[in-house]
Amino acid sequence: MTFQRPILWIHEEALGANNPALQAWPDAPAVFVFDTRWIQTARISRKRLGFLYENALDLPLTLRKGDVAAEVLAFARRHQADGVVSSSAVDPRLERIGAAIEAELPLELLDPEPFVELPRPPRLGRFSRYWREAEAVVWEGYSPTR
């Protein structure tokens, strides 16, 4: 999928310069939205909001608050965007927001750099099972002589 003029939705899991959407589209308008419903229902304290805010200020983002999908779509209209680019998320709340955005505009999700790439999905359930498969692969990147 190639957009001509996308906007970027930056969310709580990827507030760093290594965000793959920011790296792929360094000049595109980007927005971060404080999710007011989540903040209220989960009783999120000001500490956490301040921490998110300070992380967001390091990036070239427009900051908004409110209903996240509605705000992202309004930001897209503000820039006559033909699509939204973001990074894939683990949090199901962010996935639902992504689905709500995608109902209105094409959404492309880019994967952040993984910690370890395994040939097949590891067995979960207990850490030991996962680590038996992952540990050696993680250490492949290490060389004591470098």
Partner 1 sequence: MPSAASPPINGDLPRQFASRDALNTLLAQEFPEAEGELSPIRGGREAAEGKLRRIDARRYAKSRNHLKGAVTGLSPYIRHGVLSLAEVRDSVFARIRNRDEGGKLINELGWRDFWQRMWLDLGDGIHDDQEPFKTGHDAGTYARELPADVRAGSTGLACMDGFRDQLVTSGWLHNHARMWMAAWLVHWRRVHWKAGADWFLEHLLDGDPASNHLSWQWVASTFSHKPYFFNRGNLERYSDGHYCESCPSANSCPFEGSYDQLENQLFAPMPAIRDSGNNRNQQRNRQRRSSGGASAALARPKR
Query: What are the residues facing 32 on neighbouring strands?
Result: 63
Kindly state the smallest distance separating residue 106's Cβ from partner 1, in Å: 20
Angle between helices 68-78 and 92-102 (to 10 degrees): 40
Kindly state the smallest distance separating residue 79's Cβ from partner 1, in Å: 7
Place of tokens 């002589």: 145
Map the footprint of partner 1 across residues 1-60, applying CB under 8 A.
Answer: 12-19, 27-31, 34, 36, 39-40, 42-55, 57-60
Give the separation between CA 123 and CA 120, rounded to whole angstroms. 9
Q: Per rule CB under 8 A, is residue 82 in the interface with partner 1?
A: no
**Residue 75 is encoded by which pair of tokens?**
């930001």
Which residue, among 86, 106, 99, 89, has the nearest Cα to 25 in the 3D structure? Answer: 86
Give the separation between CA 13 and CA 22, rounded to whole angstroms. 13
Map the footprint of partner 1 across residues 83-142, applying CB under 8 A.
Answer: 87, 90-92, 112-116, 122, 124, 127, 130-131, 134-135, 138-139, 141-142
Which residue, among 26, 33, 28, 27, has the nearest Cα to 12 in the 3D structure? Answer: 33
Q: Among 24, 63, 100, 105, indicate the residue that binds partner 1 (CB under 8 A).
A: 63
Kindly state the smallest distance separating residue 27's Cβ from partner 1, in Å: 7
Kindly list the residues in this chain that would bind partner 1 in the complex (CB under 8 A): 12-19, 27-31, 34, 36, 39-40, 42-55, 57-65, 75, 78-79, 87, 90-92, 112-116, 122, 124, 127, 130-131, 134-135, 138-139, 141-142, 144
